[in-house]
Structure 1
């Protein structure tokens, strides 16, 4: 009798390895093969930089875990109540401070659009949300400076308002007429079924389920931050030992608007991850990168990063997505000019 059981496909060992850790291993191996004498210096540099950032990582992990366990993100729904102008301001403020991960943004925004939230307020939240959160603030402070982290927070909120009010003013134009691909349904990944129905429980430790959420969120985010920051600091080590400071100063130095525009244009396609970008930008600043170019790079890249952009592309038509990118590019250049003047 023939065996009719369907064989279970085996996953190769390579597919099971995290791509970030794999990239770190490949970089270190290449340095060891090409310049053996330098590999220890790169690893020591990365280890010291990671150790110096560890208090900020710990704060970020605990802050995110607490917000997840208490359900504090449900308070964001209040930003989408009232008149449109108030909604835009509140959405930008809360978007720039919320602990949303990329997979939660889609169901949350889908639910808001499903119940008729104005596109201007949604646009404000969309633009501000990927740029700053408690973890990002802590990592940026440790890798660059408190001043830069505060400036980026202000820039995130300002960009949200810029896009939100721009959308409100242009709401009658063909760009924003019938903007949705289809009417979205409430629900999505991460267990987000009705993102603004439950009330936060601040004393979460009295509930075993919320304690489990705190534990899992803390472990997940600790792993996430450690791997991305390790990659960032290994790359930073390569930059310190191999990239001439004069090159950075010549290409991204100076105070002109051209440098700031270049930072934004390079940042949009080249941005990997906000947590990894912070230490790399910190090193580039030390090597002569202009302050304004650093800010425009961080703002433009954060909004156009793949997780953030997918959330928008999945729900709205291409012309609205193009407007989203247009607001991001224009706002990032304005933020870079403002920070260049202040810094």
Structure 2
């Protein structure tokens, strides 16, 4: 094969197809299960949340709030009206903080995508996001006991787009919306991952994200801010980086700061927090990500 361009294209196609074969099933399963929860389970999540808030369960209530946030398949602009309706029903800000923090970081689709990175990454992502939500709730409970943390002025009851009377059609429409919302980013992630495999030496990733573990965590927590666009799109990149030597702590830091500082999430959070609390939010996320990454590296 004498044509360099043709050779490069063949290599790229090989890397692209390999990544697609490894990850596509998780993307499909994530959409199918996420849509099922959105169509059939969202009302139950809302009802259960209100019922649990009425019980005095201490920190356990914040754990449940964080779990429900992870179970919620909505984007942040969809979660805020739900949180506003919770607030109108008397749910306290500490509970809302735990719910919204974990909802920003993780959802059922993204959790299933993460299985492509292996069981260790899956477990670390789940428990770190759960803990991030719980600690956020505890912080709001202690520091904002006698004053409000959120401002839901202007938000009413959430508008549901799953209104087709035929349940099967309602589900299919939700699946199609998720495909349109995530498909482009998913393919972009595959393309970028293939390009990384083809042109970036594995030892480069290992040097900056693996060997220098403390620096790697700081760098991963920082680059998660500009690089993170869509969770599904980052999974192929993370798979390639981990295979090339990225430490699990650095990957965890990236998986925390990325969704928490995604531009669409930041816009939504800024609306309900105001300048001062928004700054607290950013600092909390970054500090939690760095500490989590360092601890994970220390024990792995």
Query: Shorter-normalised TM-score: what interval?
Result: 0.7 to 0.9
Structure-1 separation of matches of 2:165 and 2:159: 22
1:268-287 aligned at under 5 Å gives the runs: 268-287=225-244
Task: Return closer, same or farther for 1:103/1:40 CA change in 2, 3 Å cut-off.
Answer: farther
Give the corresponding residue for 2:169.
212
- Contact residue 110 and residue 184 of structure 1 kept, 8 A: no
Following the alignment from structure 1 to structure 2, what is the Cα–Cα distance between the partners of residues 340 and 73? 39
Larger radius of gyration: 1
Match of 2:188 in 1: 231
Q: Which runs of 5+ in 1 are unaligned?
A: 1-33, 194-206
Instruction: Determine if the alignment matches structure 1 residue 121 to structure 2 residue 95.
Output: yes
Match of residue 298 from structure 1? 255
Q: How does 1:1-343 map to 2 (within 5 A)?
A: 35-80=5-50, 81=53, 82-83=55-56, 85-142=59-116, 144-172=117-145, 177-181=147-151, 183-191=153-161, 208-254=165-211, 256-343=213-300
The alpha-carbon distance between structure 1 residues 91 and 295, as it changes in their structure 2 partners (threshold 3 A), is same
Task: Provide closer, same or farther for how the CA distance between residues 259 and 51 of structure 1 changes in structure 2, counting only shifts above 3 A.
Answer: closer
Report the counterpart of residue 3 of structure 1 in structure 2. Answer: none
8 Å Cα contact 2:27/2:232 also seen in 1: no
Q: C-alpha separation between the residues in 1 aligned to 2:30 and 2:145?
A: 41
Contact 1:124 1:163 in 2 (8 A): yes
Contact kept in structure 2, 1:92 and 1:160, CA below 8 Å: yes
Asked if the contact 1:64–1:217 (Cα under 8 Å) also holds between the matched residues in 2, the reply is no
Unaligned runs of 5+ in 2: none
Shift of 1:301: 1.0
Q: Encode CA deviations 1:177-218: one digit per residue, 9 max, x unaligned.
A: 44444634323454499xxxxxxxxxxxxx943222101011
- The 3 A distance-change label for structure 1 pair 86 and 182 is same
Structure 1: distance between partners of 2:97 and 2:257 = 15
Give 1:150 deviation, angstroms.
Answer: 1.5
- The 1:339/1:124 distance shift into structure 2, 3 A limit, reads same
Distance 1:323 1:78 in 2: 29
Q: 1:280-334: per-residue Cα shift (whole Å, max 9, x none)?
A: 0111111122221111011111111123222211222111111221221121122
Q: 1:182 to 1:126 in 2, by over 3 A?
A: closer
Q: How many residues align structurally? A: 293
**Aligned mates of 1:192, 1:317 — CA distance in 2:** 31
TM-fit CA distance, 1:172: 5.0
- Distance in 2 separating the partners of 1:302 and 1:258: 21
**Cα-to-partner distance string for 1:207-253 (whole Å, 9 max, x where unaligned):** 94322210101122234443222111110111011112232222222
Give the secondary-structure state (helix, strand or coil) at the position aligned to 2:156: coil
Higher helix share: 2
Deviates more, 1:235-244 or 1:88-97: 88-97
